């Protein structure tokens, strides 16, 4: 197995999301093209990609075409806009589909919506759903947002998530030392 990548909120075929989230695309077709190109520029067939919800607004035929055009082993965590039964997404070509958050590498809770984690919990959360909402940080000590807008519409490797969280941890440690 190759690397593990994450991305959320692709919203293939969803024109309105461009307006709602100020995405830099003229229309859904341009958005789809960029998302597919960006995905395939970093992911290989040996890699796995966790699509952390809100996959597409298209019909089954077009969804199947999109899934088949994307490299890697594809795992969908169902989001609030993914309204079909899990079997539907498996039929479209996803390798695995989950209705609920999953535990990745025994430490990362992968969920469409952000989860509450207190500082004493031995977990971190990889999530989407919030898009570019400034109320949420890109990375913190215990979380990382993989909404497409925050990661340049390109799946991010687990190493990138780990590095960003380590940086947030280091910065929090520096602030704590300064405040003593």
Q: What is the pLDDT of residues 116-126, one digit of tens each?
A: 998 888 999 99
pLDDT tens digits, one per residue of 138-174: 999 999 999 999 999 999 999 999 999 999 888 877 6
Size of the chain in residues: 180
Would you state the pLDDT for residue 38? 98
Please give the structure tokens belonging to residue 32: 């789809």
CA pair distance 99, 123, nearest whole angstrom: 20
Task: Tell me if 149 sits within 8 A of 132, measured CB to CB.
Answer: yes
Examine the pLDDT at 180 and tell me if it is beyond 70: no
- Report the pLDDT averaged over residues 16-40: 97
Cα–Cα separations (whole angstroms), residue 56 to 17, 49, 60, 64, 109: 11, 16, 10, 10, 23
Give me the mean pLDDT over the 21-29 stretch: 97
- Helices (H) and strands (E) counted in the chain, each on its own, are 5, 9
If pLDDT is split at 50, 70 and 90, which confidence band does 175 have?
Answer: low
Confidence (pLDDT) at 172: 78
Q: Which residues lie closer than 8 Å to 63 by C-beta, 6 or more apart?
A: 12, 55, 56, 89, 92
| Of residues 25, 67, 62, 65, the one with CA closest to residue 43 | 67
What pTM, to 2 d.p., does this model score? 0.94
With cut-offs at 50, 70 and 90, classify the pLDDT of residue 106: very high
Helices (H), the chain: 15-20, 28-42, 60-69, 86-92, 158-178
Question: What is the rounded average pLDDT of the residues 81-97?
Answer: 98
Q: Where does the pLDDT of residue 51 fall: very low under 50, low under 70, confident under 90, or very high at 90 and above?
A: very high
Mean per-residue pLDDT for 12-33?
97
Contacts 24+ apart (CB under 8 A), 15-19: none
| Predicted confidence (pLDDT) at residue 130 exceeds the cutoff of 80 | yes
Average pLDDT (5-31) is: 97
């Amino acid at each position: 197995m190759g690397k593990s990548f994450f991305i959320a909120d692709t919203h293939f075929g969803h024109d309105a999301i461009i307006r709602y989230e100020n995405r830099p695309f003229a229309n859904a077709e341009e958005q789809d093209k960029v998302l597919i190109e960006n995905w395939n520029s970093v992911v290989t067939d040996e890699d796995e990609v966790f699509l952390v919800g809100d996959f597409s607004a298209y019909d089954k035929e077009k969804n199947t075409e999109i899934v088949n055009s994307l490299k890697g082993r594809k795992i969908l965590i169902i989001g609030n806009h993914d309204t079909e039964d899990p079997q539907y997404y498996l039929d479209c070509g996803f390798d695995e589909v989950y209705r609920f958050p999953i535990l990745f590498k025994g430490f990362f809770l992968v969920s469409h919506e952000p989860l509450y984690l207190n500082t004493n919990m031995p977990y971190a959360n990889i999530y989407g759903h919030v898009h570019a909402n400034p109320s949420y940080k890109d990375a913190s000590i215990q979380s990382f947002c993989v909404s497409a807008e925050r990661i340049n519409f390109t799946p991010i490797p687990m190493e990138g998530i780990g590095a960003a969280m380590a940086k947030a941890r280091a910065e929090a440690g520096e602030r704590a030392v300064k405040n003593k």
